[in-house]
Amino acid sequence: MLFSSLEFIFLFLPIVCIPYFLIKNIKVRNGILILASLFFYSFGEPKAVVLMVMSIVLNYGLAILMGKHTNAKKFLLTASILVNIGLLFWYKYTGLFLSSINAIFRLDIDIPLIHLPIGISFFTFQAMSYVIDVYRGDTPVQKRLSAVMLYISFFPQLIAGPIVKYHDIEKQIYKRDISFAKYSAGCKRFLIGLFKKVLIANNAGLLWESISGGELSSLSMAGAWLGAVAYSLQIYFDFSGYSDMAIGLAGIFGFDLLENFNYPYISKSIREFWRRWHISLSTWFKEYLYIPLGGSRKGNIRTYLNLIIVFLCTGIWHGASWNFVIWGMWHGLFSIIERLRPGKLLDRFRILNHIYTLAVVVIGFVIFAITDPSVLREYLSVMLLNSNHMLINDSFMFSLRCNAVMLIVAVVFSAPLYILIRNKFKDNAVYAAAEAVLFILLFVLSIAYLVSSAYNPFLYFRF
């Protein structure tokens, strides 16, 4: 079930909210959220919900054992990591592993058809976060299974994040602010996400599909860049829109989730980009992988090796295809180059820094988007080398004219303009009235789009 679906907005959400707000007991409220979350997940993954519940119970049990047998904590942590990574490997990477073995050793091993459960990367990382926090002593063992169940299965962030670390939300499970002010702020945040997803991401995705799905032999260099920019906008507004909706929904129920995006396209370096893009994943890898490996505390060579490992894992986390590995290494390479850059020449020219960062990011997203190596090579050759010897053609001009408004709106909302305006006029009555009208308009336009269009994918569901 998609957040940006009519059945979620007009059926599921009201049905959950009515008893949740009528009942004041926090334990009962948590029970309502658990049941709603299990139904939400089973709506699209009826068999996989059993897998998720088993994962939750297993990690809960291992954490309980850690509390009782402190001398076996390292063994229990190792068991938890192996089980969770093994779960991910089986469902997500078995096909890639066996196909690679077949290609390298010229074998003919049968590759099983394994259905990838939606959101497995997200709920597995959250389960690992809980066990690791208990192992480190960052949080006490949670004796209530229901609390761990709610933490991992909470439907707003269950299938596409943000990845919530247990120590960031532990205290909110049984004590949180449930108020009209928070409900109102959550609804506004949800509407912003719905607008970004439905009206920007979907239309950018249609532009990308029309360009990348066409005949590449007739694609101009400008057209290739337009397609790459469209996909970069699609994936940003798709995922940040989902995160906005998730954070808004969590706020409706009284939870405060950490931000997942902070206008990454205004970054002036790749390192800054990763402080602004998919923040929950970046901080998860930093906290549970980069720092335990030694971070930047053991000299330059070790730092570069740690960065390569983290970005390799970041690429692999996104999917079972070599293009994701290349994408991770692409960002890792530039993160290291920025540390080595003699004199940091680009820092003297902020606009050049910004152009460089966007170019690296946009090229990287082409690598991210195209899984077929031959198609990827051909697309990049047109985009970077003008291999078709067409800088601009009629097809590019037509696509640009048809999508000019969407592209302008997308660029404007890629920058924190709304935040600046809101902070400046937030106490102004006229602004408050105008904002209310704007949110109503965004809701009406989004619903009208959902009614009239069948194109409504979520890119990060496959991860």
Catalytic residues: 318
Is the N-terminal amide bond of 162 cis, ω within 30° of 0? yes
DSSP 259: P
CA distance 201 to 411: 12
Q: Alpha helix (H) ranges present in 257-299?
A: 270-276, 279-285
SS (H, E, C) 316-365: HHHCCCHHHHHHHHHHHHHHHHHHHCHHHHHHHCHHHHHHHHHHHHHHHH
260 CB-side CA count, 13 A: 26
Gap between the Cα atoms of 127 and 121, Å rounded: 10
Contact of 253 with 179, CB cutoff 8 Å: no
Burial, 366: exposed, middle or buried (Cβ in 10 Å; 0-12, 13-18, 19+)? buried
In angstroms, the CA 55 to CA 164 distance is 16
Write down how long the chain is.
463
